[in-house]
Chains A and B, each alone.
Chain A
């Protein structure tokens, strides 16, 4: 799905760059490329057209100064980017705490937007900062929404106020109302009210949301929006704005590969700030919202910041430290280490997605599109079918062991052979690498990993370099993901 956008845009700016002087017709052409990019990203039409006009006007206004300047394309790109960031982050702010606790946060949104999971994430986020939140189960509609909130609350260690069983039984307005009194007597300083999903067109349920709001008088009503949402974002945001009303927006499922144009639409249309982003099924996959990242994402440009963060998350921790220690000791890189690295990479998402986050990915579009994701899965399944002994010492792999592994992984014996051969060669290379040097790209590729992505393979070479190389610049990882993380600091 590496559509032409980022390459289109990269192309548009590249052709601007190659011109000596930018004319107004160059600007027109660039604007139509940007328009295409925004359409593919689900930016609402009503938001896009005026946006493009602003870009055009600002670029034209800048034209006289641009023509004398050196990097004209860059200047126009900055206009686009600044305008996007302005809309996405113009009104950015943090949650307002109540003067007299508890601070009340109410969640509202369509069915399936991710409210219940988000409630748990918010609770954890604030509990970690020393607050004492209470979760309130006011979704009494969807089967077992109450149970879900209870499980979520338990896993983040936050109590859940759930006096009614739900599944159609109980009054969500009353529950919300009672939760306030409960919070006051128990001295919780924050109340997070989960509500049922409802459609913008459902007047009756919208009234119920209004009643809940009136009952708890929240400090913040947060509108929860799925990042995959299309053009309906406009109608729905309007309906919620006119109905229950909201003070801020939360984008969910940003760990997917949707461009998230809905974010721009809603921010522009309602002028309400996007406050948080939710990006995974784990309750820690949650962050405050970064307009710059979203701007790059909508334009389909590289998102190095997110990539660096995901890489850090996936490769961080004990495993990496252990591996580096091993290396420092001079131990061999084993198949178990290799498996760990593969798993860390899978956690970051698909390989084409990872590669696509790199700036200039547009130029590598073909290779990225053709990258066979299942190669990694296949490689993993072969290693997973090995016993611990086999993973530590591939020398024990005789014919019958190889046959068993092939059967277990559902692959052919040749596949096992070829993996083992490549691994042994790689291992040899690793030993040499201790003396400096990098991984030949062809080898990484043979292992089912694109050149330069050989996670641990290229990523820990500094372990054995002590004293062997003149201390010049600290070596950067051969793995773009890790390197991005290093460069981010």
Chain B
């Protein structure tokens, strides 16, 4: 029996746990990257648990910190545009491919835009994925402006009346204001042609408290509508995503669980929450 279940067994049916037990719970929650703020909120609520099943109550408390917003992709009348954004190396390009495969398998037509014109071989990477998944990739000439590639892709998908356009963007650290301005411009320029229905921020499950700053600043720049939490197939539990939901009310929409195009799942709150407090 792991630490957490021991704790649960101990406070089960009792009105209070002793200080040591609270410390154990704190350790578990912090260890899942929930962060000090959310952890202390949860412990405060947990201290009010009276009787009943402690595990059920705790799960309930964690659930209350999830966003109430819809977790399904919104759909436009014309081509639905999805922008995929995030800091470097979180899994944006792979997630774009996975989303394309996911949407295509449900019968939709998809076009991809290779708007990462900065990182070495980023365009080739997306083109390789496009071939594998069987969708068209719009790419610009070398060194093209990301906004102009995105604009061309928007025009093209409108012509094709494609159901979806997914835009891969270059990784950027949120504290670089010039790169954030570039991202704003990509969105602005696409919106001359089509509405951007979703801006999905990709958060690596191994990310610590910096994830909150990422979500905050990307939201300020391009109004993030949902999260994709990647690399949940590893040992990280991705708790910072709950901290983001709680602090900024941005819903997790998908999770990534591997490197192949099928390793994407629609977010399932119950599994995620129980993963956070698993031993």
Contacts and interface: CB of A to CB of B under 8 A. Distances in A.
A199 B233 contact: yes
Interface stretch (B65-73, B120-128, B161-169, B266-274): B120-128
Nearest to B204: A112
Nearest to B118: A281
A144 B124 contact: yes
Contacts of B231: 110-112, 199
A39 B128 contact: no
Interface stretch (B50-58, B82-90, B146-154, B193-201): B82-90
B218 to A, nearest CB: 12
A112 B173 contact: no
Given A40-B209, A377-B181, A253 B128 contact: no
A147 B124 contact: yes
A471 interface: no
Contacts of A226: 89, 204, 206
B61 interface: no
B176 A350 contact: yes
> How extensive is the interface on chain A, given as a class?
35 or more
Interface stretch (B5-13, B27-35, B100-108): B27-35
Contact of A111 (B31, B91, B132): B91
Nearest to A283: B120
B128 A143 contact: yes
A115 to B, nearest CB: 9
Interface in A347-371: 347, 349-351, 353
Nearest to A143: B128
Contacts of B63: none
A164 B5 CA distance: 49
Contact of B210 (A233, A259, A281): A259
A229 interface: yes
A231 B173 contact: no
Given A1-B216, A281-B88, A258 B235 contact: no
A324 interface: no
Given A200-B235, A201-B234, A231-B30, A113 B173 contact: no
B254 interface: no
B240 interface: yes
Contacts of A230: 33, 206-209, 211, 236, 239-240
B44 interface: no
B213 interface: yes
A346 B177 contact: yes
A110 B211 CA distance: 17
A257 interface: yes
Contacts of A150: 121
Nearest to A258: B210
B200 to A, nearest CB: 16
A284 B28 CA distance: 40
Contacts of A116: 120
Given A148-B125, A151-B120, A229 B206 contact: yes
A253 B87 contact: yes
Nearest to B28: A45
Interface string B205-233: 11111111100110000000000000101
A253 B88 contact: yes
A262 interface: yes
A167 B235 contact: no
A152 B118 CA distance: 12
A428 B52 CA distance: 74
B36 to A, nearest CB: 5
A39 B207 CA distance: 14
A257 B30 contact: no
A377 B209 CA distance: 27
A467 B194 CA distance: 62
B43 to A, nearest CB: 13
B208 A229 contact: yes
Interface residues of B, number: 50
A261 interface: yes
A140 to B, nearest CB: 13
B14 interface: no
A29 B16 CA distance: 26
A239 interface: yes
Given A111-B231, A112-B204, A253 B173 contact: yes
A482 B236 CA distance: 41
A268 B217 CA distance: 32
B19 to A, nearest CB: 14
Interface in A152-192: 152, 155, 167
Interface string A219-247: 00000001011111101100100000000
Interface in B91-138: 91, 118-122, 124-125, 128-129, 132
Contacts of B174: 256-257
Interface in B164-187: 173-178, 181
B64 interface: no
A28 interface: no
Given A113-B89, A141-B259, A152-B120, A45 B30 contact: yes
Interface string A26-70: 000000000010011110010000000000000000000000000
A239 B234 CA distance: 11
B233 A262 contact: no
Contacts of A377: 177-178, 181
Count chain A CB atoms within 10 A of each CB in B128, B175, B217, B259 and give the residue with the most: B175
Interface in A413-438: none
Given A112-B89, A235-B235, A148 B209 contact: no
Contacts of B240: 230
A228 B217 CA distance: 15
Count chain A CB atoms within 10 A of each CB in B32, B206, B234 and give the residue with the most: B206
B180 to A, nearest CB: 8
Given A40-B209, A201-B235, 16 more contacts: A40-B35, A42-B33, A110-B231, A112-B231, A114-B89, A143-B125, A148-B120, A155-B120, A167-B128, A199-B233, A226-B204, A231-B31, A257-B175, A258-B209, A262-B208, A351-B177
16 contacts: A1-B212, A42-B210, A112-B89, A112-B204, A113-B89, A148-B124, A228-B87, A229-B208, A231-B30, A232-B206, A233-B206, A233-B208, A239-B235, A256-B210, A261-B208, A350-B176
List of 8 A-B pairs having minimum Cβ-Cβ separation, nearest first: A230-B208, A112-B89, A42-B208, A151-B120, A232-B236, A258-B210, A148-B121, A147-B121
Interface of A: 1, 36, 39-42, 45, 110-114, 116, 141-145, 147-148, 150-152, 155, 167, 199-201, 226, 228-233, 235-236, 239, 253, 255-259, 261-262, 281, 343, 346-347, 349-351, 353, 373-374, 376-377, 381
